[in-house]
């Protein structure tokens, strides 16, 4: 009888250990997956923001250097469009953050 109780106790301790290990593993995996997702998302967003930024830089340099003065209006419109595009991307990033953290959008 004492031997049976010892075996049951050992079995219970083993089950608790396995369960605790699984919980720790899943918690760490979830944290790692979330960090990996954020890292990938940050890299993608940086790339997506850099493209219109580089276009705006080129247009602004042309404006400053008075290159193709006949295209000034086109350059200004392209810069404005890229600013709107970047603003939209930033708004999406903020919305994702709000959704992930459960915060409400300010009016």
- Give the model's pLDDT for residue 105: 61
Coil, strand or helix at 86: helix
Mean per-residue pLDDT of the chain = 89
Residues 6 or more apart in contact with residue 71 via CB below 8 angstroms: 62
Task: HSE, CB side, 13 Å, CA atoms: give it for residue 7.
Answer: 4
pTM: 0.60
Burial class, 75, CB count within 10 angstroms (exposed 0-12 / middle 13-18 / buried 19+):
buried
- Give the model's pLDDT for residue 104: 67
CA 42, 47, 50 angle in degrees (round to 5)? 120
Q: What is the mean pLDDT of residues 84-100?
A: 88
Structure tokens at 5: 């109780």
Walk me through the domains of the chain, giving residue ranges and CATH numbers.
2-101 (1.10.287.130)
């Amino acid at each position: 009888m004492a031997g049976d109780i010892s075996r049951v106790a050992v079995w219970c301790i083993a089950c608790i250990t396995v369960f605790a290990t699984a919980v720790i593993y899943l918690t760490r995996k979830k944290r790692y997956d979330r960090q990996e997702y954020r890292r990938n998302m940050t890299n993608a967003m940086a790339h997506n923001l850099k493209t219109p930024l580089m276009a705006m830089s080129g247009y602004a340099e042309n404006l400053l250097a008075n290159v193709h003065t006949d295209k000034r209006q086109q350059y200004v419109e392209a810069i404005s469009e890229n600013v709107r595009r970047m603003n939209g991307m930033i708004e999406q990033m903020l919305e994702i953050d709000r959704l992930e953290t459960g915060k409400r959008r300010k009016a």
